[in-house]
Structure 1
């Protein structure tokens, strides 16, 4: 199992935490959009609190370690690696509980080019532990509003992980899905399960709208989030997201492999050596 010290060093070296590529300007813009209840920032969450920009900044300082100084308006943003490590432990505990109960689980990502491998290894491990990894609404069409207008996507699964592709895009197990923040895919997936008579997921694992959309509908959800995605942290603060792990969600895909080892080790779930 990867030690806490080795994980912390990796987080900093890979810029998953510490000074990250996400700029302070981008984070503050996201907080403004969230405070204005812009759907692009809400990710499917309907907040109970008012959450003005000041409250969001204080929350993100508490949960991620960003500067709480509103006068700090430029440069790279910062994630405290200690907060990432603590959240990964909580993430692992939720996976262990799902494995112990052999719960049905749904995985989905809006960052398939970066995070597919991380989720796919977790899905494989939970499947080996006796969980049903759900794959509902395969091929279903989802019309997603974007800043370029409504774009038609379809739901696909790669190694047990849901993503969306443009119609006609290459499939066959590739990770070339669309980067999306939309909660619509998880709503379509959950509706398909309900219409078919279940089973419904007892845990949703992912990011962006997959987590917030599921949490808003009352499904336990855990996920990863960058500092410019305050919705997951608000969802956690309001009790609709169980665990949110603060980290840069857009580094090289292989940089997430040590996180997989750490999570599976703490959850006492089988890793790659047991699968071979």
Structure 2
């Protein structure tokens, strides 16, 4: 079992929190783009509030622990590990209630190379507790904008977790942490939910993930929880406006094995450890 003290130390040592690799310049640029309602940063969210750069900086200081000083424009950004621990506790509590109620759950990630193992461990534990882990088929795929123009992508499931692949990669995804694209788009979760509805299947009572998966689900009125970096303001705005239930602040691009203590901590707190 991972103690709170050990978890906090690991967060700082692995640079999941504390001083993180995300630069202050990148975070501030993301806040400016979100304030301008750039779809690359809104992640499918249509915010109710004004959310200019000053409001975003105050929100991110409160939810993540970044510096509230607008004059600090360079260097490493900071995530308060105590904010991360508190959010992981809330995340675990929500997972525990989902397991207790045996709710249908959809999991998806736009960071498959980094976070797939984290989510797959949650999917396995929820399934063992009696939850239905949803994997709606979506054969036609989804057209997504890339740096090379609009390209067709497919949605596949690895360990019960939805990931996005270029259409040319039609074979099965062999292992967690394998192929998959990094995406902020809400189009994959919209496509999955549309497929479930068209097939007369079960819709999720809870979506677990990141980026467009949780903001896109939350915008559609489906409860969502997940992880977000200091340069992902949309997730924290969605939490502040009540469309994401829990947003866990951490660096979402460190080595995949660094997230294992987090999954162990969450599963123990949720009484889902096997």
Provide the residue aligned with 1:260 in structure 2: 263
- Bigger mean CA offset, 190-199 vs 85-94: 190-199
* Residue in structure 2 matched with residue 220 of structure 1 by the alignment: 223
**1:221-240 correspondence runs (5 A):** 221-240=224-243
2:71 matched residue in structure 1: 71
Residue number in structure 2 paired with 1:194: 197
Q: Which runs of 5+ in 1 are unaligned?
A: none
1:148 deviates by: 3.2
Corresponding residue for residue 145 of structure 1: 145
Taking the TM superposition and a 5 Å limit, the aligned residue runs for 1:114-153 are 114-153=114-153
Distance 2:122 2:143 in 1: 29
Q: TM-score if structure 1 supplies the norm length?
A: 0.96
Question: After TM superposition, where is structure 1 displaced by more than 6 Å over at least 4 residues in a row?
Answer: none
Structure 1 pair 37/147, CA: closer, same or farther in 2 (3 Å)?
Answer: farther
8 Å contact kept, 2:138–2:191: no
What is the TM-score normalised by the length of structure 2?
0.97
Aligned to 2:7: 7
Deviation at residue 197 of structure 1 after TM alignment: 1.7
CA-CA distance at 1:138 after TM superposition: 4.2
1:140–1:155 Cα contact (<8 Å) kept: no
In 2, Cα distance between the equivalents of 1:232 and 1:186? Answer: 15
- Offset, 1:151: 1.9
Deviation at 1:139, TM superposition (A): 3.8
Alignment of 1:39-188 (within 5 A): 39-169=39-169, 171-174=172-175, 175-188=178-191
For the 8 Å contact 1:186–1:209, the answer to whether it is kept is yes
Q: Which runs of 5+ in 2 are unaligned?
A: none
Q: Following the alignment from structure 1 to structure 2, what is the Cα–Cα distance between the partners of residues 22 and 126?
A: 31
In structure 2, C-alpha distance between the alignment counterparts of 1:168 and 1:264, rounded to whole Å: 36
Partner Cα distance (2:118, 2:135) in 1: 17
Shift of the alpha carbon at 1:13?
0.4
1:140 shift after superposition: 3.8
Correspondences of 1:20-39 after superposition (within 5 Å): 20-39=20-39
Give CA-to-partner distance per residue, 1:91-144, whole Å, 9 cap, x none. Answer: 001100100110000000000000000000000000000000000134441101
Distance in 1 (CA, whole Å) between partners of 2:244 and 2:225 is: 6
- Check whether the contact 1:91–1:245 (CA below 8 A) recurs between aligned residues: yes
Q: 1:140 to 1:204 in 2, by over 3 A?
A: farther
Give the aligned partner of residue 206 of structure 2: 203
Distance across 1 between alignment mates of 2:64 and 2:127 = 31
SS of structure 2 residue aligned to 1:94: helix
Query: Secondary structure of 1:37's match?
Result: coil
Distance between the aligned counterparts of 1:70 and 1:144, measured in 2? 34
Contact kept, 8 Å, 1:159 with 1:173, in 2: the verdict is no
